[in-house]
Chains A and B, each alone.
Chain A
Amino acid sequence: MVTEQWMIEEVLKVVPDARVEASDLHGSGDHFHVRIISESYEGVRPLQRQRPILNHFKPFIAQNTVHALDLKCMTPAQAAESGDTAFDPHGEEVEFFGVHIRRPDKE
């Protein structure tokens, strides 16, 4: 079991310039939604944004210290456009996908 603060500190080791917000989805210290907002994500594909963070957390996921890690890696512009991005995988809601990410029109 870890804390939101621990999550934030670990993510900052990987993306030092980022603004990081972590939410412990169940208060159980192992299901986290984490928003990482960084200028460095400009022009970087979604998987490539997540890879360094996932690699860092690999041992914690393997030990099941962290059971669920839902990452949202955004540029400041995307963060400004997005609403609540939290998604609870064990939530009761049956709404469309359970999350709403508003994004600027690409065109």
Chain B
Amino acid sequence: MAEFNWTPDELQEIVDNNRLVLFMKGTPEQPQCGFSNRASMVLQQIGEPFVSVNILSDHRAIPSVCAWSDFPTMPQIFVHGELIGGSDIALEMYESGELQQMISDGDSE
């Protein structure tokens, strides 16, 4: 695999090419933070495949992702290339059905 440098272009490519992306501390199997775990559980609950990016894997990751997305905390959830927010918003939108709606709306566009 080519070297990954967390540039805005590289990050944008990830969210453009994947309908559900989770930037998190750790992995869904081994989350390193309760908020990341909660976000990952919400996405697993939806039952759709998602891409998770472990931002603890490289010390450049957190500042690069936060600067690019203009969002200061982790985790961050992207749906069809658009940042929806962190785990609190993901849960709220999941419980109201907005998240599922947003995923299927993007699929039909």
Contacts and interface: CB of A to CB of B under 8 A. Distances in A.
Given A61-B73, A101-B95, A87 B38 contact: yes
B33 interface: yes
A6 interface: no
Interface string B72-105: 1100000000011101110111011100000000
Contacts of A55: 72
A50 B85 contact: yes
B85 A88 contact: no
A90 B42 CA distance: 17
Interface in B30-83: 33-35, 37-38, 41-42, 71-73, 83
Interface in A28-70: 46-47, 50, 54-55, 57-58, 61-62, 68-70
Contacts of B42: 97
Majority SS at the chain A contact face = mixed
A55 B71 CA distance: 8
Nearest to A100: B95
Interface in A56-107: 57-58, 61-62, 68-72, 87-91, 97-99, 101, 103, 106
A47 B84 contact: yes
B87 to A, nearest CB: 8
Interface in B9-33: 33
A101 B96 CA distance: 10
Given A97-B42, A99-B91, A58 B34 contact: no
Contacts of B89: 46-47, 50
Contacts of B97: 106
20 contacts: A46-B92, A46-B93, A47-B83, A54-B71, A54-B72, A55-B72, A58-B72, A61-B73, A70-B88, A71-B88, A72-B88, A72-B92, A87-B34, A89-B34, A89-B35, A89-B37, A91-B34, A97-B41, A98-B38, A101-B91
A-B pairs with lowest CB-CB distance, top 5: A89-B34, A46-B89, A47-B85, A61-B72, A58-B72
